[in-house]
Structure 1
């Protein structure tokens, strides 16, 4: 097929998208279910008339959102990267928003080139529910001791076996991960938990959040985290926070690939 005017001759594209995860069964394609990867692949395939495979920086679970999900795909031809956002904006559903697109070399991989990911969890602490926040936050009415939550969070920083903080059925055999930072930030009736690391296990940030909320409520000691880690058992940690409060906030690559995708 010949290249039409205004089209590139293809190559690898890095695309950054945001999405509201409420009506998706997660990021990864699943037969017969609406997923972010599936919608992106279907849209690109219909646009170009050839099968396009999309690779993401990581999977988000059903109901989890993304401010900065990074994907890459290889185009045989198509719109130049600087026009791709405009083209996709008119074709993607309203709950997926393309942010930026760039040409990258073939060594770049949306997942395997990542050096750091940051998730943000939004806790709303108002007395009454907020109709403008319920889709993107966990409403916790009871008072939270943020100082104790931050103290507990400090025990999670570093390289640990996070078996206690992931789904019991998580497929990864190696449960060791490195966490660079866990911060709990207050802003009026809101509290935001930021968790940065080299990679995460299934439900890991949600279980970390749920456990820290249990600490804030006084149900778990702030200094119990090292023992919970050592137990290597899911039942030792606290609850799993709801999916809808979680957002993939940022992804960072080596400087050669542009570093941090979005400003924090």
Structure 2
């Protein structure tokens, strides 16, 4: 008989404000974020770049990003039940409340006008991206299975220093590195500004909005979070939350993680262009 999937537990279970690191901006790095049985069940059934690419109609190229969002996971009969339960919880009002319990003070400290723009953060109506709309909800959450494809041709970084889109309230990365992945790089690099007058570059994303990247001359590296299995990184988004991905060596292995996001209808801040 098939075994029941392990019970889903929050990635933030047991995380407290004492775990917040504030250099160069508020964030958490949590090792062994999930019980091993739950992590193993998710890791064993995570979709590949090829699977996602076929489902969403995106060609496989070197070190590209392939997103299988909650709408895809929940609508795919082939996805394991543990994935459906995991993305349901991590795009829920309960998970949003856990995030605020950790980071509310840091959010307001770094974006003093935020609750004038959004209303009380704890009162926001929470929905799920691509299921609900801003007509009836204030923040749309998502929990996405993400693959960076194999690196061919030459070593490359998927993305250099940048700030996440200003309409996002938070970002989260949960790494699911394969045990056999011996590639060098693919780590998360955290930066601070070198000058008071940084210049961002905008480019269109595949979803029709703008990305905000910055030339390395305007930033300096502060710390690196290694790409390791069962490791969670999470942070509120503000102009100081500069980060990027280090260069990955040539490899047949795919870089695997879960992305956690909360989208608002309007930008919370502006970036100098």
Q: TM (normalized to structure 1)? A: 0.24
Higher relative contact order (CA 8 A, sep 6+): 2
Q: TM (normalized to structure 2)? A: 0.24
Larger Rg: 1
